[in-house]
Amino acid sequence: MRTAYVCIDSFRTCNADDWYSRPASCAEHQVTHLWDMEVINGPLDALHGEKVSVAALLVLEEYKRIATAITQGRCHVKPYENEDEELLKETFGKKGLLEEIRKENEPELLETISPQHLEKCLNGIEEIIDELPSEQTMFRLLEKAGCAKTVYDIGLDESAVLPSLRLAPYTRRRLSLLRISKMLDIRGE
């Protein structure tokens, strides 16, 4: 089980020996928390770890997509603008969670990031992403460990993927690459 934990936790640096979850609570946990809030889905009959393993693979796929765009020169930084306000109202508002989400995200972390500095960091970000296992390797590792791997395994379908990746960063005030991607303009898709 420890091997599965380390595999899933490969997205960030933390001391796995301490088994303290806060440092490990980043993009895949943001996605899982979104699903737990049941704002884009109904109740799921899946354990927390099952949802985290599925979310980890979704986040890895998104990060690899970003790395490819950086390598191909199709990814550039844009100044942060809250382009999700209407979606937040529609999604979290209908469940009475909008004010809680707004409070969680004040002040907005992306407003502290210099677009020029982030642009200079893109190649370094791409290099870090390249060090992560491939999607196929991660899939095989999760399969070998007996973990859930797809949204279907936890009772969702493909229609949940894009909203999950877009809304998840708002569930916890963490500076994940998933959140930073709101400042990325990826062309040619």
For the stretch 125-179, pLDDT in tens is 999 999 999 999 999 999 999 999 999 999 999 999 999 999 999 999 999 999 9
Element (H, E) at 76: strand 75-77
CA distance 21 to 63: 22
The encoded tokens of residue 43 equal 């109740």
CA distance 189 to 181: 15
pTM attached to this predicted model: 0.86
* The residue type at 171: T
